[in-house]
């Protein structure tokens, strides 16, 4: 032991020199861990530092050497063996029966552990960290741990000095960062020309540089008043949207004289603003004008410095310097707003031309709901018309053929019917949980609507003229602030023009057979003007075509996109929390039902089985001795114990068997690279291997709702898949989905075709096209079925028999 201490003293000299070569925490912690691991061959070492976490002190891992890993870098200070060290603050050694897995649950170890030693890092009588030593092969006693105590003392001093160095360096970097911010402001302010986006940027950057409780941005309005357009931080004395006129406040006074000022809570004007509250009260205030090219743009206020020291003239100078860049950015934003108003006017002129250039009602409706999208950022527009006292949904943006009975439009139809009672336009928005509306009924109505649709802003405008109500127009978006003042002005003009256009189109549509009889009369005149033999030829060809369409049979097929899905898929996982010990299969392996796929760590269950067997043998031996001695009572007790331990042996054997994960079905292993799962901890019920049975896959063929009525179970299908373009797969329809799935707002049904796959060529996820034979029909039905169904629906909508 003496020789080991001498060698250790020699190593400490070199150890100290190596530490002095590094200045940061991580390299020094690494040197400490490597040195300890070298002194104790076959061991692993972790170095921790104590730090303050959200819920108290925590151990933070700084370095790890050897066959060990720490899944969580942060470990609570009072848990496990590290918690014992935190409580005692002295060297510790855990070996033999003291090694309980729960005490070192923060470690991930693959080797057998024989002992754990801890060296506290103490400086000035305060625990600051720890060295954790994991022994796998050699035996370590307390005297060996004591020999490492000088190393831990040097390590404690070196690591805490490194922490102090990093803290000082970070403080210097923070100062450099603040200086850099001053140069970065102009670039940041120029990153956007949107006033709504620019104001929060200006506010946040001002607050970041000034480091204060709040920044208030007041902008000059057309009536020479100031309006608080944005507030960054917390200042309860004013609120966004508040206005000040000359003589009504501090900001208004600065706007009158354009002189920056610094005042404290002793000023009468500050006392007046603090009169109604205590929390967040102003104790120091800076105010500076925003001046662009000699003209006042607005006023900026900085409220309460974060360090609690009142503002001084140097702070006011910094604020005034910042206002120059902000004023220039606001000027550019105002020019952009003017250009946008021009764009809005141009879009209004274009949309107005489209809705007034035709008397076709459908074209007018499409122009109204789709035209404004070039300049108004709405997500959906809809329009309903008053038809004989009933409000009916007639057009939705982005949809040419509208099915008003589709369930996806139910809430929209309900809202438009409710909007028919309005006499004035209504704009309702939701910010957070607050809905901006004066009437409680309106707030309740839109709370339900916004919750269902995900929208947060809605503009409803009644379409009315001197003859009565024409309909209701709606624009909505998930952005509650999607409409600006310029947009609202455009919508007022648009609704007036839309009302006139819709009224004219409705009156024109009521003219009997307008647009139908006139073209027919013209065609009749041209036909009668032809020569007699040409008229006969045309009639003959027409009769032959009609006979062909009515009598000649053709196969009627329904086609659609096809996707291969597995007939069966099994997600395999353990019945209890465990660590994956071995993976016995590879991706793509074909396995039969019951084939072992993986094994779990089973030392605990093997130990339990061995213990149960030993106690079973002991009980049998006790029973035999009692029988030999003629003690029937003792033999009965022994028999009962033997039966109990026999059941325990069976139960332990069952648990041990469950550590072998077997495939529940025959199929192919589908998990990518399953061998990488070795060593992973899986929880009870968590699947980590997938087995897919592709022997009889189902191919989903997408079918339009107009064709789903033709499909029957057992009909033959042909499939062409992209992976095998030269082959045609045959199958039969097994199931026709009873419920539609909406894709791009269109309902789609699926015919699930069962296909034999003995060679395992078909794999889940393959795509292609499928055709399903539905029998023979007249050529006219096959060729013009779609047109006929469309005409039938039109006739039904007109006459409604």
Q: Is 552 part of a structural domain of the chain?
A: no
pLDDT the model gives residue 119:
92
pLDDT the model gives residue 10:
47
Q: Is residue 452 over pLDDT 60?
A: yes
Q: Is 555 part of a structural domain of the chain?
A: no
Q: Is 27 part of a structural domain of the chain?
A: yes
Task: State how far the Cα of 574 lies from the Cα of 658, in Å rounded to an integer.
Answer: 8
pLDDT the model gives residue 52:
85
Mean pLDDT of the chain: 82
pLDDT the model gives residue 4:
44
Mean pLDDT value across residues 667-695: 81
Mean pLDDT value across residues 592-604: 83
Q: Is residue 569 over pLDDT 80?
A: no
Task: State how far the Cα of 486 lies from the Cα of 496, in Å rounded to an integer.
Answer: 16
Q: What is the pLDDT of residues 620-651, one digit of tens each?
A: 888 888 888 877 787 788 788 878 888 888 88
321/375 same-domain check: no
287/246 same-domain check: yes
Give 31's strand partners.
none
201/160 same-domain check: no
Q: What is the pLDDT of residues 75-88, one digit of tens each?
A: 888 888 889 888 88
Count of CB atoms within 10 A of residue 789's CB? 12
77/119 same-domain check: yes
Radius of gyration of the chain (CA): 41
β-bridge pairing 698-704 and 553-565: antiparallel
Report how many domains make up the chain: 5
742/677 same-domain check: no
Domain of 786, CATH number, reads 2.40.30.170
334/473 same-domain check: no
Q: Is 468 part of a structural domain of the chain?
A: yes
Which of 509, 539, 556 delimits the end of a domain?
Answer: 509
67/205 same-domain check: no
Q: Is 433 part of a structural domain of the chain?
A: yes
465/380 same-domain check: yes
DSSP string, 723-746: TEEEEEEEEEEEEE-SS-EEETTE
pLDDT the model gives residue 516:
55
Q: Is residue 189 over pLDDT 70?
A: no
Which of 635, 650, 682 delimits the end of a domain?
Answer: 682
The larger pLDDT score, comparing residue 1 to residue 26, is at 26
123/29 same-domain check: yes
Which of 654, 682, 710 delimits the end of a domain?
Answer: 682
Retrieve residue 726's tokens.
Answer: 């030269």
pLDDT the model gives residue 177:
65
Q: Which of 38-52, 455-469, 478-492 has the lowest mean pLDDT?
A: 478-492
pLDDT the model gives residue 11:
63
Q: What is the pLDDT of residues 304-336, one digit of tens each?
A: 888 888 888 878 887 887 777 777 777 777 777
Q: What is the pLDDT of residues 517-540, one digit of tens each?
A: 556 666 777 777 778 888 888 888
Mean pLDDT value across residues 743-767: 80
Q: Is 84 part of a structural domain of the chain?
A: yes
698/677 same-domain check: no
Mean pLDDT value across residues 722-748: 82
Domain range holding 582? Answer: 569-682
Domain of 153, CATH number, reads 3.30.450.40
151/228 same-domain check: no
Q: Which of 426, 431, 421 is nearest to 386 (CA)?
A: 421
322/228 same-domain check: yes
């Amino acid at each position: 032991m003496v020789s080991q201490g001498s060698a250790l003293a020699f190593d400490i000299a070199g150890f100290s020199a190596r530490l002095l070569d590094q200045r940061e925490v991580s390299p020094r912690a690494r040197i400490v861990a490597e040195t300890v691991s070298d002194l104790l061959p076959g061991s692993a070492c972790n170095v921790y530092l104590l730090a303050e976490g959200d819920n108290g002190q925590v151990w933070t891992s700084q370095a790890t050497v050897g066959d060990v890993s720490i899944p969580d870098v942060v470990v609570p200070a009072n848990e496990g063996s590290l918690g014992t060290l935190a409580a005692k603050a002295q060297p510790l050694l855990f070996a033999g029966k003291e090694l309980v897995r729960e005490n070192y649950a923060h470690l991930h170890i693959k080797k057998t552990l024989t002992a754990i030693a801890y060296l506290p890092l103490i400086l000035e009588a305060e625990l600051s960290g720890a060295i954790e030593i994991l022994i796998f092969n050699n035996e370590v006693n307390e005297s060996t741990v004591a020999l490492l105590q000088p190393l831990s003392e040097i390590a404690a001093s070196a690591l805490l000095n490194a922490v102090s160095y990093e803290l000082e360096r970070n403080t210097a970097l923070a100062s450099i960062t603040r200086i850099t911010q001053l140069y970065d402001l102009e670039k940041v302010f120029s990153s956007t020309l949107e006033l709504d986006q620019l104001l929060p940027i200006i506010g946040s950057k001002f607050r970041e540089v000034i480091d204060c409780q709040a920044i208030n941005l007041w902008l000059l309005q057309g009536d020479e008043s100031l309006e608080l357009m944005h507030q960054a931080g917390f200042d309860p004395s004013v609120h966004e949207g508040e206005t000040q006129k000359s003589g009504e406040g501090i900001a208004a006074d600065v706007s009158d004289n354009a002189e920056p000022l610094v005042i404290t809570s002793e000023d009468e004007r500050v006392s007046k603003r603090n009169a109604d509250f205590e929390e967040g009260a102003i104790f120091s205030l800076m105010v500076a004008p925003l001046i662009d090219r000699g003209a006042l743009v607005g006023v900026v206020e900085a409220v309460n410095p974060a360090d609690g020291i009142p503002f001084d003239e140097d702070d006011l100078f910094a604020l005034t310097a910042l206002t120059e860049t902000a004023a220039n950015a606001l000027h550019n934003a105002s020019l952009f707003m003017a250009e946008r108003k021009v764009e809005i006017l141009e879009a209004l002129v274009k949309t107005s031309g489209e809705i007034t250039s035709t008397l076709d009602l459908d074209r007018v409706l499409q122009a109204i709901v789709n035209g404004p999208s070039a300049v108004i950022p709405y997500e959906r527009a809809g329009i309903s018309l008053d038809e004989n006292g009933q409000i009916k949904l007639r057009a939705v943006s982005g949809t040419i053929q509208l099915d008003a009975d589709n369930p996806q439009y139910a809430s929209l139809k309900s809202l438009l019917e409710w909007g028919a009672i309005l006499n004035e336009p209504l704009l309702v928005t939701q910010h957070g949980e607050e809905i901006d509306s004066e009437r409680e009924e309106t707030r309740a109505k839109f709370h339900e609507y916004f919750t269902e649709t995900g929208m947060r802003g809605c503009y409803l405008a009644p379409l009315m003229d001197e003859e009565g109500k024409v309909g209701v127009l709606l624009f909505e978006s998930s952005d509650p602030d999607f409409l600006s003042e310029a947009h609202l002005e455009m919508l007022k003009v648009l609704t007036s023009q839309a009302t006139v256009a819709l009224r004219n189109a409705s009156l024109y549509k009521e003219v009997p057979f307008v647009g139908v009889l006139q073209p027919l009369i013209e065609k009749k005149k041209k036909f009668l003007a032809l020569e007699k033999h040409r008229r006969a030829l045309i009639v003959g060809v027409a009769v032959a075509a009609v006979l062909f369409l009515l009598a000649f049979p053709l196969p009627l097929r329904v086609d659609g996109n096809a996707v291969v899905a597995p007939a069966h898929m099994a997600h395999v996982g353990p019945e209890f929390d465990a660590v994956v010990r071995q993976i016995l299969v590879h991706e793509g392996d074909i396995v039969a039902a019951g084939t072992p796929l993986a094994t779990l760590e089973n030392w605990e269950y093997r130990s339990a089985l061995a213990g149960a067997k030993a106690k079973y043998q002991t009980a049998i031996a006790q029973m035999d001795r009692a029988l030999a001695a003629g003690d029937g009572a003792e033999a009965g007790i022994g028999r009962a114990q033997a039966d109990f331990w026999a059941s325990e042996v069976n139960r332990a054997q069952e648990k041990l068997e469950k550590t072998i994960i077997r495939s529940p079905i025959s199929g192919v292993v589908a998990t990518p690279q399953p061998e990488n799962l070795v060593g992973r901890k899986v929880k009870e019920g968590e699947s980590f291997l997938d087995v897919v049975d592709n022997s009889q896959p189902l191919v989903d063929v997408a079918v339009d709702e107009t064709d789903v009525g033709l499909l029957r179970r057992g009909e033959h299908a042909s499939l062409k898949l992209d992976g095998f373009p030269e082959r045609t797969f045959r199958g039969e329809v097994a199931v026709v989905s009873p419920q539609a799935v909406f894709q791009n707002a269109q309902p789609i049904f699926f015919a699930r075709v069962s296909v034999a796959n003995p060679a395992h060529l078909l794999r889940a996820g393959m795509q292609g096209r499928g055709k399903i034979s539905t029998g023979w029909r007249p050529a006219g039905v096959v060729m013009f079925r779609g047109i006929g169904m469309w005409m039938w629906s039109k006739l039904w909508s007109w006459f409604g028999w």
